[in-house]
Amino acid sequence: MSGALVIFFVLAALAVLGAVSLILQRHPIHSALSLILVMVSLAGLYLLMGAEFIAAVQIIVYGGAVMVLFVFVIMLLNAGEEERTNFSKLATFAGIPLALALGGIIAAAIIRSSGHMPPPAASGAMSSTGDLSKLLFSEFVYPFELTSFLILVAILGAIVLAQREN
Amino acid sequence: MSEILAKYGFLIVPIVKVAILVLVVLTLDAYLTWLERKVIAHIQARWGPHRVGPHGLLQPLADGIKFILKEDPMPSGVDKTAYFLAPFLTLMLAMTSLAVIPFGPDITIFGYTTNFGIADVNISLLVLFAITALGVYGFALAGWGSNNKYSLLGGLRSSAQMISYELALTLSVVGVLLIAGDLSLKHIVEKQAGDLGLLSWNIIGMSKNHGSFTQIIGCICFFIAAIAETNRVPFDLPEAESELVAGYHTEYASMKFAMFFIGEYTSMIAVSSLFTILFFGGWLSPLPASWTMTHYLPSIILLPLGLWVIYDGVRYETILGRIILPGAGAVFALLGAGLFLSSTVNEVIQGPFWFFAKVGSVLFFYIWMRATLPRFRYDQLMDFGWKFLLPVSIANVVLTSAVIMWRMK
Amino acid sequence: MVPTNYYLILSAILFGLGVLAFVFKRNIITIFMAIELMLNAVNLAFVAFSQALGKADGEVFVLFVIVVAAAEAAVGLGIIILTARNRRSLNVERVDLLKL
């Protein structure tokens, strides 16, 4: 059991734990904290794969901006705990086994195709920040400019939505 | 010894470094509170703490004992997860950010070459920004978890302020990145190591191959944004509310408040270290490296300082002072003499000496500002961050890239 | 080295859990968070393939996914705040008629 496998299982267990906690928690703020745990463990997994810039961007943008936005909205709207209502019996007795069956089918499909998967490349040849930025500005410059325009539109939209009616 | 280090060094050395760093930083935090109270007091023409030990030097110890022994109440109706997580998160993130800061050049002990910081990652600047970004949660959760309207408002204001100034903080560093071409803090310092000493630091930015441009605008923007990030005067309205009405740490007492307190001072130290690394050359000496006589500066400073402390101490009023102060003075004098005589230790100590000298000056400047400036009102604070600091940082990026491209043509 | 399959299976598990949260939760903000979880699972798959093939294209796509998710979160939460103010409830079962 190499060190990388141990770290992978620890981080994967943390991520799955966070996701399950997202479902099981009653108060939205605890769900938000669980989602932050998932994102940080995913950033750890990206680091394990050698994608260090993406790991840093994940924490800065997702963990430090998007989730802060969620936490602010939950605090502003004073979202309370979810009420207990009766789940329909059909959803519980048919839904959960079907969801597990779906997960099983996808996992089986992945495992069956493992023979055709390309082997992981040597870790030394992994892309660094420089490689990523070279690609971003040469081959993907058009999507890059489009996404910057998209962010501008989103900012304007958020400002318009937040204006008071006067 | 070198065989043990060669085989198990990757395990032993980081543990030893972490232990030393935690010890040094916690002591530095404690005496930073003492320094702050003394400096503010002297600026305001009064003594600071001067009864607890000689010159009040044992005051941090007394404060620590108070924090440990005081009752730690927990208000009813708090959200337990958020209430307990907030101070833990603040302290943990502040101390983690110290792991990637290089305090000096690579050193070789018993044949084992190692980085002078704890972790040598090649994206250390981004790691620091990631930790700063996560630091917002400490204040937001503290405000929310306290079951108190005023704490909630203070926490939300503090988080909004931190997010706004984080943008200006990140953008003002891009100029330095353009000059250095690398995200690793160690390489940023090494890129400033021209033979011109002070002049090749990023704040003045003369260098022999014209790859550098003065970063004075970025430096000022970074410093202002850093003060706002650490919630210090003049941007401490969320904290000063605790003097007026309430702030995000009202409902926290003794040990949890101490964690917030230590977290704030540690993040101040981390941000000052980042400031000196990015703009003031980190561990580089301000004098050109070819003047090797300047390697004796630490001993030239320590030896007279030790003798003066002995001279001042033997005539102190209390008996405790007459024992402690000459003892401390003797330690300084012996250190100075030892550095003068042994040249290997002197070489190792050069980097951290200049680093801590610069960080100490930046911290003194922080404290000086706290004593002198009034604080911003909240809407003035947000206006300043979004309408002035952010455009100026962007202008700095554009200007620096234009100058570098024009010079490299 | 960790085989690529392990990352893909983890991505599938996280995506499935996101779908479960989306279907079962009734608070609109928690449903939004489930969408973010699904996007994160997809990001993990992208980076896993990028490492397997040795090219950086997957990472570029991850950047775009993160940016789009951030923009979507901003506008979506703005809409949620307005809707919650008008209907005075965050429960999706109460927002099922156009009439207030």
SS3 B182: coil
**The pLDDT of residue A109 is above 50:** yes
Domain of A7, CATH number, reads 1.20.120.1200
**Does A1 share its domain with A76?**
yes
Closest CA to B194 of B183, B185, B206, B177: B206
SS3 A140: coil
Burial of B402 (0-12, 13-18, 19+ CB in 10 A): exposed
Domain end residue (candidates: A49, A80, A111): A80
SS3 C91: strand
Domain contains A100? no
Say how far apart CA C77 and CA C89 lie, in whole Å: 14
Is some CB atom of chain A closer than 8 A to the CB atom of B206?
A: no
Instruction: Give the amino acid at B407.
Output: R
Chain A: give the shortest CA distance to residue B32, in Å: 29
Say how far apart CA C51 and CA B55 lie, in whole Å: 60
Closest CA to B188 of B270, B123, B266: B123
Test mutation, A14, A16, A58, A73, chain C, max C CBs within 10 A: A73
Is some CB atom of chain A closer than 8 A to the CB atom of C65?
A: no
Domain of C11, CATH number, reads 1.10.287.3510
Q: Is the previous residue joined to B234 through a cis bond, with omega within 30 degrees of 0?
A: yes
The reported pLDDT for the residue numbered A124 is 47
**Could you read off the pLDDT of A21-69 as tens digits, one per residue?**
999 888 999 999 999 999 999 999 999 988 889 999 999 999 999 999 9
Residue A58: DSSP 8-state: I
CB B126 within 8 A of CB A53: yes
Closest CA to A57 of C9, B178, B125, B174: B125
Domain contains A109? no
* Chain B CB contacts of A56 below 8 Å: 123, 126-127, 129-130
Say how far apart CA A99 and CA C17 lie, in whole Å: 9
Taking CA–CA distances from C57, the nearest residue in chain A reads A135
Q: Within 10 A of C61 (CB to CB), how many other CB atoms are there? A: 18
SS3 B61: helix
* Chain A CB contacts of B129 below 8 Å: 56, 60
- Predicted-assembly ipTM surpassing the 0.90 threshold: yes
The dihedral through the CA atoms of B111, B116, B119, B125 has a sign that is negative
Domain contains A88? no
**Could you read off the pLDDT of C56-92 as tens digits, one per residue?**
888 899 999 999 999 999 999 999 988 888 888 888 8
Q: What is the DSSP string of A63-126?
A: IIIIHHHHHHHHHHHT--PPP--PPPHHIIIIIHHHHHHHHHHHHHHHHHGGGGSPPPPPGGG-
Across the interface, which of A48, A91, A151 has its CB nearest the CB of C71?
A: A151
Determine whether the interchain pair C14/A136 forms a contact, defined as Cβ–Cβ distance below 8 Å: no
Q: Within 10 A of C84 (CB to CB), how many other CB atoms are there? A: 20
Range of the domain at A154: 128-166
Length reported for chain A: 166
**The pLDDT of residue A122 is above 70:** no
Across the interface, which of C12, C30, C66 has its CB nearest the CB of A110?
A: C12
The reported pLDDT for the residue numbered A88 is 63
The reported pLDDT for the residue numbered B200 is 58
Is some CB atom of chain A closer than 8 A to the CB atom of B163?
A: yes
Domain contains C36? yes
Domain contains C100? no
Range of the domain at C22: 4-94
Determine whether the interchain pair A75/B152 forms a contact, defined as Cβ–Cβ distance below 8 Å: yes
Say how far apart CA B58 and CA B283 lie, in whole Å: 30
**The pLDDT of residue A14 is above 80:** yes
pLDDT > 90 fraction of chain A, expressed in percent and rounded = 45
Q: Within 10 A of B391 (CB to CB), how many other CB atoms are there? A: 12
The reported pLDDT for the residue numbered B238 is 73
Across the interface, which of A33, A52, A64 has its CB nearest the CB of B133?
A: A64
The reported pLDDT for the residue numbered B384 is 92
Chain B: give the shortest CA distance to residue A61, in Å: 8
Determine whether the interchain pair A72/B140 forms a contact, defined as Cβ–Cβ distance below 8 Å: yes
Is some CB atom of chain A closer than 8 A to the CB atom of C67?
A: yes
Number of separate domains in chain C: 1
- The vertex-B95 CA angle with B218 and B223, nearest 5°, equals 15
Number of separate domains in chain A: 2
> What residues in chain B have per-residue pLDDT under 70?
194-200, 202-211, 240-246, 289
Domain contains A44? yes
Domain contains C99? no
Determine whether the interchain pair A53/B129 forms a contact, defined as Cβ–Cβ distance below 8 Å: no
Domain contains A70? yes
Determine whether the interchain pair C33/A42 forms a contact, defined as Cβ–Cβ distance below 8 Å: no
Closest CA to A120 of B48, B401, C50, B183: C50
CB A9 within 8 A of CB A51: no
CA A5 to chain centre: 21
Q: Within 10 A of A141 (CB to CB), how many other CB atoms are there? A: 11
